[in-house]
Structure 1
């Protein structure tokens, strides 16, 4: 059994080598790296084409953002499970082997590990998903969770309605519908929050609120939203 690593790229030449090196250094090299590129012009594509030693599938086509690119990558992927990795993320050496072991052991729809987040080890928060969102079920979307590819046949692909937080929507939709989730006891790698969600706090908060009210009490979510906005402005001032 093998898995796919899926990465969306666009002018990622400066960041990509660290992720590439971490994949080349895996103890288990039986995986495919699917790269969905939106039309890079900075040498990203040439860099990818120069990588040898691992199975790479490169798809170059215009997209409408990271989640549309990930959807393109999922359609190209040929394996039963996939793990998302950002261009500036990286995996620890036994990550692929550990994911395979835990998938075979659990047979779960999602296998979520711990990860290094900004220098701190992070696991599943658990608790109430009305408060902790997708982190009540998984430690994170990229690097730390393997998804059964067939989940997208049941629940759809990442929605272009949520360009910042489509992963939150997909994970909550699948979890509330009964998708099985296994918490694995290993650290998969490091996630670096350098995307839009890390830069646009209010945009992320607003989009997350729109998702949360789909699955939870809207009045509770409104109260949480305004609490977070007030806390943000107090910190910003």
Structure 2
């Protein structure tokens, strides 16, 4: 296994980047920006990878520069959200980063809590609680079966609920563009299989919005989950049975989304 855990200098707390991918997000950004401006620890950078928005998204980001310590933005056509994340990570300078969507918000102590947890543990992945809509995601799935829960066997989620050591990508690689819905899950599981350390802290980081691709494309989510299971070497029979179960269970929703 690779020696992935970083050594943290107690005299120099880790720096943090908040990473957001945007595309025509002017309706959602004001709430996110307000939550970033309300952080009790203002020492962080906001890095935005924009997909060449045509609405007021870039204008709102530019105005946020007067409220936040550091704002970096790169706007150009891209190949989806994970391509945007990869660009943002290269632009970021933080020791750790937290992905926050345009329709998400962070609670005021989120940056302070993440930086404290990263400094205390030096873990590669620091995961915390968050709200998904009105549902509190308050811990790791139990039993912690990777074949069933995927990344949720180890972390609460990717956006809002997870701080990732940025240099982990040098050892594990970038987010894969071949998994446009679940590239985050593939990266996290590959990192853990290569020795990445994970710690859970019970603070509530924020609220995750419900406008993500996985919520709009149930069939795509199911198929990519199956592909990841097979890629990581889980039982083909068990994975196929789980695929069929999820298709049957979610069929009404899949049919609705086809309309």
Tell me which interval the TM-score lies in, with the shorter structure as reference length.
Answer: over 0.9
How many Å separate the matches in 2 of 1:223 and 1:88? 34
Residue of structure 2 in register with 1:158 after alignment: 175
Residue of structure 2 in register with 1:193 after alignment: 210
Matched, 1:46 2:63: no
Equivalences for 1:5-84 in 2 at 5 Å?
A: 5-51=18-64, 52-54=66-68, 55-84=70-99
Deviation at 1:235, TM superposition (A): 6.9
Residue of structure 1 in register with 2:164 after alignment: 147
Deviation at 1:10, TM superposition (A): 0.7
Can you give the 5+ residue segments of structure 1 that lack an aligned partner in the other structure? none
How many Å separate the matches in 1 of 2:196 and 2:189? 10
Deviation at 1:233, TM superposition (A): 2.3
Matched, 1:175 2:192: yes
Deviation at 1:236, TM superposition (A): 6.9
Q: How many residues align?
A: 237
Deviations 1:122-158 (A, max 9, x none): 0221411111110001000001100000111111110
TM, length-normalised to structure 1: 0.97
Residue of structure 1 in register with 2:16 after alignment: 3
Equivalences for 1:223-234 in 2 at 5 Å?
A: 223-233=241-251
Deviation at 1:53, TM superposition (A): 2.4
How many Å separate the matches in 2 of 1:28 and 1:4? 12
Instruction: Please provide the CA RMSD for this pair.
Output: 1.2
How many Å separate the matches in 2 of 1:20 and 1:41? 19
Contact 1:114 1:124 in 2 (8 A): no
How many Å separate the matches in 2 of 1:86 and 1:63? 16
- The runs of 4+ residues in structure 1 deviating greater than 3 Å are 234-237
How many Å separate the matches in 2 of 1:198 and 1:149? 27
Partner SS state of residue 114, structure 2: helix
Deviation at 1:234, TM superposition (A): 6.0
How many Å separate the matches in 1 of 2:254 and 2:184? 27
Can you give the 5+ residue segments of structure 2 that lack an aligned partner in the other structure? 1-13
